[in-house]
Amino acid sequence: MFKNIEKYDIYIIVAVMALTCFGVVMVFSASAVMADKRYHDGFYFLKRQGGFALVGMVLMFAVMKIDYHLWQKYAIYALALSLLLLVAVLIPGVGGAAGGSSRWIKLALGFRFQPSEFAKIALIIFMAFSLDRKQERIMLLGKGFLPYMGVLMILLSLLLVQPDMGSAVTLFLVAFTMLFAAGTRPRHIISVFLLALPFVYFLIVNVPYRLRRVTAFLDPWKDPLGGGYQAIQSLLALGKGGLIGVGLGNSRQKLFYLPEAHTDFILAVIGEEFGFFGVMIVIGIFFLLVQRALCVALAAPDAFGRYLALGIASLFGIEALVNMGVVFGLLPTKGLALPFLSYGGSSLIISMFAVGILLNISSGLNLPGGLLLPIRKTASQ
């Protein structure tokens, strides 16, 4: 597994391993009391997340040895499969509902799979494959830009039906980041953003729970026991942590005050137990991971590798920024996991799969150390 590991970017490996291992510890810390009450087993989420982490690590080290060009052959199939899975979650008896949303496919032994996580990496692989083939034609509206909008609209529609606004926003931003980097005309991108504004307004104003989230974001203290409850509890957790925190396992807000403490708001628990410095270390590791992924994108030997690495870097960066923005009260509350840290097998395993692809792209590249960016492409694989 670790043979010739020096060929791959060690910064990415260390960052991902650190986040994943710390995530398993924090999932246990955030969920032990709740798991004991709900499942009569305080180690319930620890055992599951530990298992997910082990599977994810094995998958990461296996995928990093597979030539990333292989994924070109399966790009269209992966996208088609993601569409089928997103449809499947809406079928009664196949999809599993929780919290008013149908986002999961029920598997054996109580496990569930979230197709939206697979759709993210499937879209990135497909777009990298397609952008590599189109090259200069991406600047054209009809043959270059609009076909991507058609694919993206289908994916977003299926996500919004579930509903999964967080994943829809993520896919939208990742896709446009890749299109912009590929040379899409800025006026095309700006036009879509302007056209999307009335639609987003409609989605918010005409869906009561989304409207409550936005109004709670603007003034959470107006409804402290309703729409503003999660945001307030998150800020209280961060405030109690101070500079150095109250210590591992000593969080009070996770004791049935902070909803989804082991998933969407795990960073708030980290802030309470490890303080400002702990949160800054987590942010620093994410910054390092995204920066090194961009290094790989800049130094990749071909266009497919560049777009693929850029898409993965964008995915991790956007998901982390959105989750942190919610925890810090800078964005309205939405269900989006913090990569590698939040509880959830689908998110963790797919993220580790994406890291494996990223590591394979980095194989054989003479990347600069630390936070430097390569000036030009270097040796290919």
Domains of the chain, residue spans: 5-362
345 touches 111 (CB < 8 A): yes
Is residue 276 pLDDT above 60, yes or no?
yes
- Mean per-residue pLDDT for 213-231? 83
**Residue 109, helix vs strand vs coil:** helix
Give which of 76, 167, 177 is closest to 125, Cα–Cα.
76
- Mean per-residue pLDDT for 7-15? 93
Cα separation of 216 and 224, whole Å?
A: 9
At residue 207, the pLDDT reads 78
At residue 127, the pLDDT reads 96
Least confident of 205-219, 240-254, 363-377: 363-377
Is residue 114 pLDDT above 80, yes or no?
yes
At residue 97, the pLDDT reads 62
Which residues are CB-contacts of 336 (< 8 A; sequence separation ≥ 6)?
Answer: 166, 167, 170, 264, 319, 322, 323, 326
> Over the stretch 319-367, which tens digit does the pLDDT of each residue have?
999 999 999 999 988 778 999 999 999 999 999 999 999 999 999 787 7
